[in-house]
Chain A
């Protein structure tokens, strides 16, 4: 029998980017919160600038819970899914420890894909087998929460639209924001200057992207020192605004947050009426039951879905909040693949760059351009950044100019180590019938529970965007003086990714959505969901800030509706 613990107001499953944000408004309002985290505490002394350890060997996520339950993947329902890796990590702060820290707001179009497309292009432009819906909320509804997160977590950037005033140094395509970013953007570099001026010459609109990285002393944390080891490495000076260094310490300071580390949540319990009563978790080899008035699940998209499907009861025989068979549906992974790489005739000065220090182009994203003559909707955000490290440089493609080893190879990499660059192109992905998450019928995790199975592939719309975006990216590189450009494959199966969406979609109709417009389950009103599993469209940019804004909004809703949510 599990050991039953004293009841708490709220349990949050996962103290990462989402749970770590939601904890703050809850604890500020005086609610007692228990945060269950599958990982442990890390601190800046752990974040060595060590490319082999961080990037090649994937420290520290390789040995963690997430890795032991990595999803299986297949493109089509007729195939047997194969287990791959898991890109996320467990820790207090979660993947906000080692992410790139790009902190975008979605564009207004992303919230209203169906109605906007219909209004601008008429019927027939949404792919027939897509299950896409408008979000139940608009950009304007989320704007106050984007603002709160940007200021509380600490995001640097340049606004492109403050209350209708357009600044071409920022993203002119963004939705209207109430005020400027709290900090100026990360500095430019010789490479970003080169790319920016090439884009400007083509009358495109380059700008420096937003990052959850400090550029001045902010909230007691020092500014970024540009040592460049953000990618899969945490920040040794806490300049990266991980929730572990921003919202979580503040929530702990209220005295209302207790974090339990290395807690592996295995089930959410419900009573016969279908009300959620708490969660069961394993710590060491002991099982605990943590009763709570409200449960918020804030693990990653794959794990949110899995936890619901594993939590079967008499009220929910097919998994919690799944009586309408919507858990796991409307899954999308961002189409982050199919990059373009370029070789330049001069050094790019990228040895001390970071993945969030770069130049973005939104000209070809979302509905920022006319799709009348095109056979797709949506688009891509083009991103070039300055991250360059020696092992990665030595493993670069040789662009057909040298063999892969020996004297000539050595001469090639010695000359070109700082002369190549690979773009990061994030593309709109739509949800489709037959793209979904469920439990794998045979593959189990280390404690014998089935892992998540991904069944998903990119469709024509995604592949056409990829092709189109690669054309634009190639044009941009060539305009900046690249002598060689390589385009990589467009992809097929949607493997496990750091940008996974859907599975517990948010929407007004309980027939097609797991969560309501506030992020609480239609079928279980005291069960809330945090994370990109709520999102019904992918956008064409990193999801974390949207996830955090939604988490803050859900938490505020809970505070103001405590009585009805816990009735």
Chain B
């Protein structure tokens, strides 16, 4: 090595991608759903709650206080409500997704939630004498309309800005891969008749479209994407033997 600061190009993917990757892809559906390390936690959680058609078990909170989480969940329920057409953001555990995301990717928004959820509660107390989650749905809707119309004081980055933020995050939490703690039981994907991630989609699959039966799999149920697998090899590059 004339140059000690080079990285060897690590290329830990299968020796013959034209065969092995495809075989893997084809066999993934049933075989490896339980092996994914991080996803395994989610799968376990899901299977607990699957057997219970009443309210899902509440997960521990990572960032929000219990009071904040209750307000947030009520907001989610207003934004994408459960109705005769099916469950909504509350059942999809969008609030749980948001709570977790505020500790990671959305950490810059944490202060916005802290202040704005309290501000919404204060307005609710002032107008109706009770916290947001404890007033009737029509009053909650009125308060969210006020939030959207920039009329709730004390919000960050602004009343309207927080509305846009919480709407965005509620959609993320309802329609994201369940790996992230939302879209519980694939409620969001079923709402849209999205038949699920398929590593390979045939022309027939495409023609069926929304009529295709949903496969209810997380991307990370596929071993292809588990990052910590032990069977990786390091090569020197070159596509044919890498």
Contacts and interface: CB of A to CB of B under 8 A. Distances in A.
Interface in B1-46: 2-3, 5-7, 9-13, 16-18, 21-22, 25
Interface in A18-37: 34
A234 B209 CA distance: 24
A417 B144 CA distance: 24
A253 B237 contact: yes
Interface string B137-152: 0000100100010000
Contacts, number: 202
Given A227-B200, A250-B238, A405 B6 contact: no
Contacts of B3: 5-6, 34, 258, 260
Interface string B182-207: 00000011011111011111110111
Interface centre among B144, B201, B202 (most CB of A within 10 A): B201
Contact of A226 (B7, B195, B200): B200
Contacts of B205: 352
Nearest to A248: B237
Contact of B239 (A245, A260, A352): A245
B172 interface: yes
Contacts of A50: 177, 179, 219-220
* Contact residues on A (Cβ < 8 Å of other chain), bracket: 35 or more
Contact of A45 (B79, B81, B194, B224): B224
A236 B225 CA distance: 9
Given A226-B206, A410-B81, A410-B191, A237 B201 contact: no
Interface centre among A227, A249, A350 (most CB of B within 10 A): A249
A414 B227 contact: no
Contacts of B219: 48-50
A227 B9 CA distance: 27
B167 interface: yes
Interface in B162-190: 167-168, 171-172, 174-177, 179-180, 188-189
B22 A220 contact: no
B239 A249 contact: yes
Contact of A259 (B6, B83, B227): B6
Contacts of B22: 222, 225, 237
Nearest to B237: A252
A373 interface: no
B114 interface: no
B213 interface: no
B18 A220 contact: yes
A391 B78 contact: no
Given A187-B203, A226-B206, A404 B194 contact: no
B207 A349 contact: yes
A406 B202 CA distance: 35
Contact of A286 (B5, B201, B227): B5
A190 interface: yes
Q: Is the interface of B mostly helix, strand, loop or mixed?
A: loop
Contacts of B171: 391, 394-395
A95 interface: no
A500 interface: no
Nearest to A254: B238
B192 A394 contact: yes
B85 interface: yes
Nearest to A222: B18
B194 A390 contact: yes
Interface centre among A262, A288, A405 (most CB of B within 10 A): A405
B80 interface: yes
A390 B175 contact: yes
Given A50-B219, A418-B193, A405 B79 contact: yes
B158 to A, nearest CB: 17
A46 interface: yes
Nearest to A258: B6
A272 B40 CA distance: 63
B106 to A, nearest CB: 9
Contacts of B236: 252
Given A6-B2, A44-B17, A237-B21, A227 B197 contact: yes
B242 interface: yes
A219 B191 contact: no
Nearest to B16: A220
Interface stretch (A51-59, A195-203, A316-324): A51-59
B207 A417 contact: no
A173 to B, nearest CB: 29
Interface string B71-94: 000000011110101001000000
Contacts of B12: 43, 45
Interface string A214-258: 000101111001111000000011100000011011101100001
Contacts of A283: 5
A220 B81 CA distance: 50
A449 interface: no
Interface centre among B6, B189, B191, B237 (most CB of A within 10 A): B237
Contacts of B88: 410
A418 B189 CA distance: 12
Given A49-B197, A225-B25, A410-B85, A390 B6 contact: no
Contacts of B192: 390, 393-394, 413-414, 417-418
B125 interface: no
B126 interface: no
B87 to A, nearest CB: 10
B238 A51 contact: no
13 contacts: A41-B7, A43-B13, A49-B219, A50-B220, A57-B105, A222-B22, A226-B202, A349-B207, A394-B188, A395-B171, A405-B167, A410-B85, A411-B85
Given A190-B209, A220-B18, A249-B239, 19 more contacts: A5-B3, A52-B177, A56-B176, A219-B239, A226-B202, A236-B21, A253-B237, A288-B5, A347-B209, A348-B209, A352-B201, A352-B205, A390-B194, A394-B188, A406-B79, A406-B141, A414-B85, A417-B194, A417-B210
